[in-house]
Amino acid sequence: MMIDDVDLNFAERGAGRPLLLVHAFPLDHRMWRGQVEDLSEEYRVIAPDLRGFGGSGVTAGTVAMERFADDLAGLLDRLGIDEPIAMGGLSMGGYVAWQFWRRHARRVSHLILCDTRAAADSEEAARQRCELADQVEEQGAPILVPRMIPRLFSEKTRRQQTALVQAAEQVIRQGSPAGLAAALRGMAKRVDATCWLREIDVPALVLCGHEDVISPVSEMQAIADAMPRAEFVVIPGCGHLAPLEDPVHTNKAIRAFLKATW
């Protein structure tokens, strides 16, 4: 579906209140496969591919988190969804969720923040990310596989769910180098959302895989503590991709949260 200058691909299932799920880097909407089918029994679940990912169109250069957030607002407009939504974001999807709340607050009734961070990159981290962006453009998406896979999944998931891990590897390999590089540069220059946390007064579920090394439990606990209406849930045995690694526990937490607050 054309949103401004880009064709956005998305999955949509179910009817009722809208639940928008925003994927992590360097994946696409398929990382929500354990949620789309199951949660569409109760909700209208929409899982887009961000600009530059999956089946969506690519913009080279730098794509800011603000741009991704505005794309999603445009998608909701095109789908005729004006009522406030529950927005879920994992990691980079969470970075987009902060911006979506900031820029389109009236559209947000609930936030589900999975394995994400509020802090910006340090200068050194931002520099390394920009270097990685150049390398991905020069050498291709597969260079991300050995770098990301051990950090995305827990050791237990890598041992016990090899097909799931291989499917993620495949998604990474097929990514657009220009799209991935643009998102890396956008993440490098994202702003620090920490000072917004106290103002975000919608009900929020903060969810974290126990073994997450990218956004560890202590950091996510601090996010939940800072938000006035947040509840914190840890998913045992999972790494950075808890919803993909353990959809049963994740969906139970999401259902309980939405049922109690919506």
Shortest distance, CB of residue 162 to ligand MLT, whole angstroms?
20
Closer to ligand MLT by Cβ: residue 24 or 39: 24
User: What are the φ/ψ torsions at residue 20 (nearest 5 degrees)?
Assistant: -100, 125
Closer to ligand MLT by Cβ: residue 134 or 201: 134
Nearest to 10 by CA among 20, 111, 88: 20
Shortest distance, CB of residue 239 to ligand MLT, whole angstroms?
10
Neighbours of 28 (CB within 10 A): 25
Number of residues that bind ligand MLT (CB under 6 A): 7
CB 134 within 8 A of CB 107: no
Shortest distance, CB of residue 102 to ligand MLT, whole angstroms?
18
Instruction: Spell out, one character per residue from 195 to 234, where the chain touches ligand MLT: x when CB under 6 A holds, - when not.
Output: -------------------x--------------------
Which 8-state DSSP code applies to residue 32? G
Three-class secondary structure of residue 204 per DSSP: strand
User: What is the C-alpha to C-alpha distance for residues 51 and 179, in angstroms, rounded to an integer?
Assistant: 7
Give me the residue label for tokens 């961000």: 50
Shortest distance, CB of residue 183 to ligand MLT, whole angstroms?
9
CB 53 within 8 A of CB 31: no
Q: What are 160's two structure tokens?
A: 């016990």
Q: Which of residues 29-48 bind ligand MLT (CB under 6 A)?
A: none
CB 109 within 8 A of CB 262: yes
Q: Which of residues 131-170 bind ligand MLT (CB under 6 A)?
A: none
Shortest distance, CB of residue 115 to ligand MLT, whole angstroms?
7
User: What is the C-alpha to C-alpha distance for residues 182 and 176, in angstroms, rounded to an integer?
Assistant: 10
Shortest distance, CB of residue 242 to ligand MLT, whole angstroms?
11
Closer to ligand MLT by Cβ: residue 44 or 240: 240
Shortest distance, CB of residue 169 to ligand MLT, whole angstroms?
15
User: What is the C-alpha to C-alpha distance for residues 203 and 227, in angstroms, rounded to an integer?
Assistant: 9
Q: Interface with ligand MLT includes 187 (CB under 6 A)?
A: yes
Shortest distance, CB of residue 152 to ligand MLT, whole angstroms?
7
Q: How many helices (H) and strands (E) does the chain have?
A: 11, 9
Closer to ligand MLT by Cβ: residue 218 or 259: 218
Q: β-pairing, 18-22 with 85-90?
A: parallel
Q: What are 7's two structure tokens?
A: 């064709």
Instruction: Spell out, one character per residue from 56 to 95, where the chain touches ligand MLT: x when CB under 6 A holds, - when not.
Output: -----------------------------------xx---
Residue nearest ligand MLT by beta-carbon distance: 91
Closer to ligand MLT by Cβ: residue 110 or 129: 129
- The residues binding ligand MLT (CB under 6 A) are 24-25, 91-92, 187, 214, 240
